[in-house]
Homo-oligomer: A and B are copies of this chain.
């Protein structure tokens, strides 16, 4: 497991590198599609390869509950189970426990929660987290973190951060598989002071890579950007940096500009299934009546299977009929869009044109009202969750 920096942008903190893992090489900056339950929704592993995916993410929380770590271990690990033979990350389950599960009781020892599927009770510790991820067998595993909701006060965020540091150390100590790389997760909410402290503590623990967790939870984008900037500045230059849960084209540009190497997010695939499609002119809603008889691709500048073979009118029809193929063709389009974008971003870093490439992309890319509404709704949901969380 190594990370080699190839080139840094002279005008921003953007950088291009190569991440080497037991299952292959990953050019960075990279976006990891999310395969929550052992599948990137609607796609086969071969399709992921053809879209240009070089690394995928699996969710430990979901797989732990269903089908269970034991079954996946019995079936030879997550790579073999889901048929993906490339590099893979698994997350720690921390974020999901704190956002999806019920009855969360956090102690120094770990976190007690109830499954969102059947209400069964489970106790997640740093040791169980590592043992689970070792059984799943990803190339990159994450230390267990506590992820407080956006809006939590300073004291609560500080407590969660300190537990995260203790758990990070216990995760490192309980590791048994030297072929896996473990990344620590910087927490500290929107408080720059805590983020700086967390970055320093985790760095002192000597991880193979560093993630920034607990962002993009509803806070204003300017806040995200400042926190990322301040955190990255304190992380070792020669280690990969992973911004968790970030995902839209415009946010990826902001992350890359600030020195992020790895991104993951369910956003491109989730909005695809809702009919929200990336184009070079912004996000389009395929269900809109304007596409009813549109005899052309969704995006003229896209080389994906969907755009090469089907009209927007056909996709509109499939969505109106709620046909399974709709979700698949839309997912292919959005993922290919992001994968191509990452390749272009990387090339622009390598040839020194990243700032102008970013500028020209952002000028054309107009977030729709729909997008604003979506992000506003997300904020509403987060606020409500915060209010009603036990």
Closest chain B residue, CB of each to CB of A313:
B75
Q: In the complex, what residue of chain B is closest to A329 when comparing beta carbons?
A: B44
Instruction: Give a binary string over A294-326; 1 marks a CB under 8 Å from any B CB, 0 the rest.
Output: 010000000001000111011011101101110
Task: Give the one of A38, A292, A293, A317 with max B CB within 10 A.
Answer: A317
Known interface pairs A81-B311, A83-B309, A311-B81. Does A323 touch B41 (Cβ–Cβ under 8 Å)? yes
| Per-residue interface assignment for chain A, residues 151 to 178, with 1 indicating a CB less than 8 Å from any chain B CB and 0 otherwise | 0000000000000000000000000000
> A221 interface residue, CB < 8 Å from B?
no
Complex Cα gap A41–B82 (Å): 22
1/0 per residue, CB under 8 A from B, across A45-76: the answer is: 10000000000000000000011000100111
Q: Does A327 contact B (CB under 8 A)?
A: yes
Distance, CA A315 to CA B83, complexed state (A)? 12
Q: Which of A209-239 contact B (CB under 8 A)?
A: none
Of the candidates B67, B74, B309, B324, the one whose C-beta lies within 8 Å of that of A320 is B67
Q: B residues within 8 A CB of A321?
A: 37, 66
Q: Which residue of B lies closest to A321 (CB)?
A: B37
User: Of all chain B residues, which has the CB nearest A326?
Assistant: B39
A43 part of interface (Cβ distance < 8 Å) = yes
Q: Are B328 and A71 in contact (CB under 8 A)?
A: no
Number of copies: 2
Residue of B nearest to A325 (CB): B39
Contact B320 A66 (CB under 8 A): yes
What distance in Å separates the Cβ of A231 from its nearest Cβ neighbour in chain B? 34
Asked whether any CB of chain B lies closer than 8 Å to the CB of A366, the reply is no
A179 → B minimal CB distance (Å): 23
- If A39-B325, A44-B328 are given as contacts, then 14 extra A-B residue pairs at C-beta distance below 8 Å, sorted by A number, are A37-B323, A39-B318, A41-B324, A43-B325, A44-B305, A66-B321, A67-B317, A74-B293, A75-B295, A75-B314, A76-B295, A81-B314, A82-B314, A324-B327
Which A residues form the contact surface with B (CB < 8 A)?
37-39, 41-45, 66-67, 71, 74-76, 81-83, 292-293, 295, 305, 309-311, 313-314, 316-318, 320-321, 323-325, 327-328
